[in-house]
Chains A and B, each alone.
Chain A
Amino acid sequence: MAKSTLFFLLLLLGLVAFWVGRQRSRRVAAGNIRTLHSLPGHYGFFTALWCVAPALILFSFWLLFETSILKQLVISGLPEDLRSQSPEQLGLLINEVRNVAKGKDASLSEPFVQQAAREYVRLQGLSNALLSVLVLSAAAFGTLIARQRIRASLRARNHVETALKVVLVACSLVAILTTVGILLSVLFESLRFFRLVPIMEFLFGLDWSPQMAIRPDQVGPSGAFGAVPLFAGTLLISAIAMAVAVPIGLLSAIYLAEYASPRVRAVGKPLLEILAGVPTVVYGFFAALTVAPFVRDLALSLGLEASSESALAAGLVMGVMIIPFVSSLSDDFINAVPQSLRDGAYALGATQSETIRNVVIPAALPGIVGGILLAVSRAIGETMIVVMAAGLAANLTANPLQAVTTVTTQIVTLLIGDQEFDSPKTLAAFALGLVLFLATLALNIIAMHIVRKYREQYE
């Protein structure tokens, strides 16, 4: 039986179990459901839970381990000389077997592959049949047990609610699991990378050229993994972006919060926020198509040397993307400053701008700084704009008219295309990912701490 059919059948059985449990509780109550501890529906849910939950757990464990066990079985069925191959070649062979088993034209494959594929299909059929029998009998057995347990005094509602609560807790744990998953996945691969390339060389090396010979007998560059040019490039582009976003975002937030009439505010704020809703790939295209040539032509007309993939173009566009981020956060914090502070300043004779500069902004400063830090973390992690508009050459320069490359650009270029999981080239992407994750994590935690502290002040 196909797995999806089995799954839907299981859900159907759950419905049946619900009905069985409800009927049973009515029978037990002999028509007077007030003698029951819970509503008949709760008994139904109780039975359905016993029917579906154990079977589903079995199902998911089976799915988790089926592939690797099948693979081991197929490998053990292969001739001796094939089994002693390197793991990569064996993996390729298994893929071939799987493709043939899935119905790829087998006439081109070697006979032992065809035989293995037949074996694979047979084992798969066996596994599916076994799984169906086990899951269905677990469901039936669970239903029977639950039905037996139904008494008038059974606290079905409490059981069901406990189970539901477990589900709710599990869902809220997904966030933690994600963080752990991110950490583990980048950490493990990075550790493998640092075994090949010393961590000091990676963090402080000045030369980045990850292209290297793939096979040992190939002639090619040996690869250098000094990431300082990437960090410098990332910081340069982020600095340009912040130089655009902070003044524009902050001043427009001040204007919208303090000066603008309600009508202007109602129009201006959503319009600015459209900028945040535009997908980053659109900004990237815009940067590459319109802004970069414009910057280059402008620089050339001023007699300056400029690359067509200048850091300035990418930084400018990234700054535009971040404007609404800075402005909406600052707007929140400026609005949170109590009116009494402003009134106090007006009473002393300050003009509106003096009030804003000397009272409102200092009062809102911690929040604004937190918001700016969050914006910096976003600029550092932004990918598509720099992939499309910044260069690939790792220049160590502070000249915004030259091409620089960034951490995110390199991660993308290292991981797109052919990859094998043992080359330092691929692993380097994970090491860069680790640095990126830790940097943004630090920024976020500091920013959230500042913001939270500040919020408490006026609440």
Chain B
Amino acid sequence: MNRIARPLVSRRTVEIVRASLKRRHAAEKRFRLYGQISIGLGLVMLFVLLVSIVSHGYPAFSQTYIGLGVHIDAATIDPDGRRDPEVLANADYAALLKRSLAELFPEVKDRAEKRALYRLLSAGAGYRVRDMVVAKPELIGTTTRIWIPASSDVDMLQKGHFDRKAAESERRIGDRELAWIDRLVAEGRLERRFNRDFFTSGDSRDPEQAGVWGALMGSFLTVLVTLGLSLPIGVAAAIYLEEFAPRNRWVDFIEVNINNLAAVPSIVFGLLGLAVFINFFGVPRSSPLVGGLVLTLMTLPVIIIAARSALKAVPPSIREAAMGVGASQMQTVFHHVVPLAFPGMLTGAIIGMSRALGESAPLLMVGMVAFIVDIPRGIFDPATVLPVQIYLWADSPERGFVERTSAAILVLLTFLIVMNGLAVYLRRRYERRW
């Protein structure tokens, strides 16, 4: 019946399609646009993240210094004149600095005022003079112009983080100090210089003295332990699973385990480290050793999976040729397959290490969050690592630590970029198409 009821001049399918084409093409364009927008959003996020970190962080690479003409008075630091290193190391260098500041500002008489004046200098300023004098004892008795790090407040003011026009009670720096600072600037005694201390000193409560060297050493030792354990174990496990293991449920179980461990939250590895390594085996807390052990367990799946795919990429003809000339299976694997797969395994290991380098959550659990000033010398010393140092500084209320944190992040990102770049280079250089 339907057929008869239709109008005589029926619309052909082509026309129906043509009529809907406009709508469909618009939908096509929209869909494409959604894709472009989401990629754009992702990249914008990346850009905002990097710009935010860099813009906060780069000022930390310079630091405000105060140039003082310091008379290194023999009577104060070396009263008996024997240049005894012991005496020199323990002398009161802060007194020298106070004296030369007092000469610059003769009108400051009041004790409280004087103390405020000295607070313009970094709390560790005396040690800097000490290190100079201990290294060069012939300076004693002379007057030298020394650039002393200013305190964090002065530094922040010079970098424009404090509002000079705000009411005095709301400022960290009072009018009196402002006047002193302006005078120092006018006399050319205040200068922004490259902040070498940031790269050579350990942690400190004072932002102007805090550096990343201790955390870098801690990271280096921790990653060294991780690499030393996870590369051999991971490669051996991959060789077994890929080359020797029979296909049975037991081996399937191992594989499920490895894949699952790759997705277990990192903090759970920290709990394992705390309960097993520290409380059960008695590995020293906060040491790069225990951190490295935890990170080893965490990065093993990554290394095993990468090593297996590298082994898989070696064509069977290589194995057959080796077997054909009478090599045993072990000889085939270790003399022929593994050397060919090694660049791929190494790439995987570097990527695993870069992940270990950026990891912080499990290390919080095993006590690597302690405040540690000394530079760690070995894998048993208490240490912290760069990401945890970033976490600690991010928690500090002082304004000066905001830029230190960002600068430490820049250092960390630099290392990660170098490591990933190395992995990409290795892959390009040694990748073989069979």
Contact = CB atoms under 8 A, between A and B. Distances in A.
Interface stretch (B48-56, B98-106, B157-165): B48-56
B152 interface: no
B266 A172 contact: no
B402 interface: yes
B361 interface: yes
B17 interface: yes
Contacts, number: 254
Interface string A417-459: 0000100000001100100110011001101100000000000
Determine the main DSSP class of A at the interface with B.
helix
Nearest to A445: B260
B418 interface: no
A145 B42 CA distance: 66
Contacts of B420: 277
Q: Give the size range of A's interface with the partner.
A: 35 or more
B76 interface: no
A433 B361 CA distance: 13
A320 B45 CA distance: 7
Contacts of A178: 257, 261, 272, 297, 300
Given A281-B358, A430-B275, A377 B263 contact: yes
A209 to B, nearest CB: 22
Interface in B240-297: 240-241, 244-245, 253-254, 256-261, 263-269, 271-272, 274-276, 279, 281-282, 297
Interface stretch (B25-33, B112-120, B425-433): B25-33
Contacts of A272: 39, 42-43, 46
Interface stretch (B61-69, B79-87, B89-97, B409-417): B409-417
Interface string B317-343: 000000000001110000000000000
Interface stretch (A129-137, A306-314, A378-386): A378-386
A110 to B, nearest CB: 25
B369 A416 contact: yes
Nearest to B40: A252
A397 interface: no
Contact of A349 (B17, B354, B387, B402): B17
Contact of A444 (B30, B240, B263): B263
Nearest to B237: A172
A275 B261 contact: no
A196 interface: no
Interface in B381-434: 387-388, 390-391, 394-395, 402, 405-406, 409, 412-413, 416, 420
A157 B335 CA distance: 14
B271 A185 contact: yes
Interface in B198-236: 232-234, 236
A240 B177 CA distance: 48
Given A185-B276, A289-B56, A448-B259, A174 B237 contact: yes
Interface in A163-185: 164-165, 167-169, 171-176, 178-179, 181-182, 185
A174 B300 contact: yes
Nearest to B273: A185
Interface string A260-292: 000000001001101101111111111011100
B52 A381 contact: no
Interface string A326-363: 01000000000000000000000101111011000000
Contacts of A437: 264-265, 268
B236 A275 contact: no
Contacts of A383: 265-267, 361, 364
Contacts of A380: 265
Nearest to B357: A279
Interface in B344-367: 354, 357-361, 364-365
26 contacts: A157-B328, A161-B328, A171-B237, A171-B240, A172-B237, A172-B240, A178-B261, A251-B34, A272-B43, A278-B413, A279-B387, A280-B359, A281-B358, A281-B409, A282-B53, A282-B412, A284-B394, A289-B52, A354-B28, A383-B364, A388-B395, A411-B271, A415-B365, A437-B268, A441-B264, A448-B256
The 5 A-B residue pairs with the shortest CB-CB distance, nearest first, are: A381-B265, A255-B35, A279-B358, A185-B275, A171-B236
Interface of A: 64, 67, 157, 161, 164-165, 167-169, 171-176, 178-179, 181-182, 185-186, 188-189, 247-252, 254-256, 259, 268, 271-272, 274-275, 277-286, 288-290, 320, 323-324, 327, 349, 351-354, 356-357, 374, 377-378, 380-384, 387-388, 408, 411-412, 415-416, 421, 429-430, 433, 436-437, 440-441, 444-445, 447-448
Given A444-B263, A445-B256, 18 more contacts: A167-B236, A172-B254, A174-B297, A174-B300, A185-B275, A186-B268, A250-B38, A254-B35, A255-B38, A279-B357, A279-B412, A285-B394, A289-B394, A290-B48, A349-B17, A381-B266, A411-B365, A448-B259
